[in-house]
Structure 1
Amino acid sequence: MDFISIRIITGDITRLVDFYERATGVRADWSTEDFAELRTPSATLAIGSTRTVALFAPGCARPADNSTVIIEFLVSDVDGVYRNLVDFVADFVTEPTTMPWGNRSLLLRDPDGNLVNFFTPVTPLAIEKFAR
């Protein structure tokens, strides 16, 4: 098995894709006006409009209704991500903070309210864990 992607269902796909393109620096590939993907070397963030839900099962997913998942991105400079987003994001949960497990993390909410963590390993153990 290979973990490939996570998909966010949204009521405003253009707004959410714009947010993730700016936050990650990754350009989205649009398959249709209702579906886009931001591909990284290790996984893909897929974003679908609410119209795609009916193709699976009507009502099985609701936009802006997540309170259990944190979407995480490994970045080379979490403080740089913060500087890029400080005038763009309305809901920072925490500014860049070094966590006890060795990652410097920035936790925020995307335009749909989903929690997003950008992190950079900063201690030797954390750097070793994420070495590629």
Structure 2
Amino acid sequence: MASNLSPAFAYTVVYVRDVAKSVAFYTSAFGYNVRRLDQSQKWAELDSGPTTIAFTPLHQRETDALTGEVHLPDSKGERNPVEICFDYADVDGAYRRAVDNGAVPVSAPETKNWGQKVGYVRDMDGIVVRLGSYVNEPNKTA
């Protein structure tokens, strides 16, 4: 019998060159606390609410054999097929903090036509990180 329950979105795993450096960057640039960094430094998790942000090295025995190696963009003109998005009450402050702590500026925060304020940076592995204001759902009428 099939379940009527939707699965919970539990993890986003980010493949990086250096797990410890990435975790240090994400804690200083975006304000997260480290939940776990294993002694081998091949796995780390941030305290990020109900969905965990985890980091692991680019090359993993478990997944390389199935799908091949993970490759980061070769140039600044390329980007990863995934974007990480964080919501903040103060997008301008979050953007300044990220850049002051080593994030590469992509585009400064601006209010989009849908009403959300959004800015973009890149991390040390070229991953695009969107810093946005909270989006409220429009009032629904019956």
TM-score bin, normalised by smaller chain: 0.7 to 0.9
Return the offset for 1:31: 3.1
Give the match for residue 131 of structure 2: 118
Question: Partner of 2:15: helix, strand, or coil?
Answer: strand
Return the offset for 1:85: 2.4
Partners in 2 of 1:2 and 1:15 — Cα distance?
29
Give the match for residue 25 of structure 2: 19
Question: Percent of aligned positions with the same letter in both sequences?
Answer: 28
Question: Partner of 1:79: helix, strand, or coil?
Answer: helix
Return the offset for 1:48: 0.4
Give the match for residue 136 of structure 2: 127
Give the counterpart letter for 2:33 in structure 1.
R
Question: 2:42 aligned with 1:34, yes or no?
Answer: yes
- In structure 1, runs of 5+ residues without a counterpart are none
Task: Mark the structure with the bigger radius of gyration.
Answer: 2
Return the offset for 1:100: 1.3
Give the match for residue 121 of structure 2: 108
Structure with the bigger percentage of helix: 1
Partners in 2 of 1:64 and 1:82 — Cα distance?
23
Q: CA RMSD in A?
A: 2.0
Give the counterpart letter for 1:73 in structure 2.
F
Partners in 2 of 1:82 and 1:61 — Cα distance?
32
Give the match for residue 49 of structure 1: 57
Native 8 Å contact 2:85 2:131 kept in 1: yes
Native 8 Å contact 1:8 1:48 kept in 2: yes
Match of 1:10 among 16, 37, 50: 16
Return the offset for 1:127: 3.0
Question: Partner of 1:127: helix, strand, or coil?
Answer: coil
Distance 1:63 1:30, change over 3 A: farther
Give the counterpart letter for 1:55 in structure 2.
E
Give the counterpart letter for 1:87 in structure 2.
D
Partners in 1 of 2:136 and 2:24 — Cα distance?
30
Partners in 1 of 2:137 and 2:16 — Cα distance?
36
Distance 1:27 1:90, change over 3 A: closer
Give the counterpart letter for 2:17 in structure 1.
G
Return the offset for 1:18: 1.2
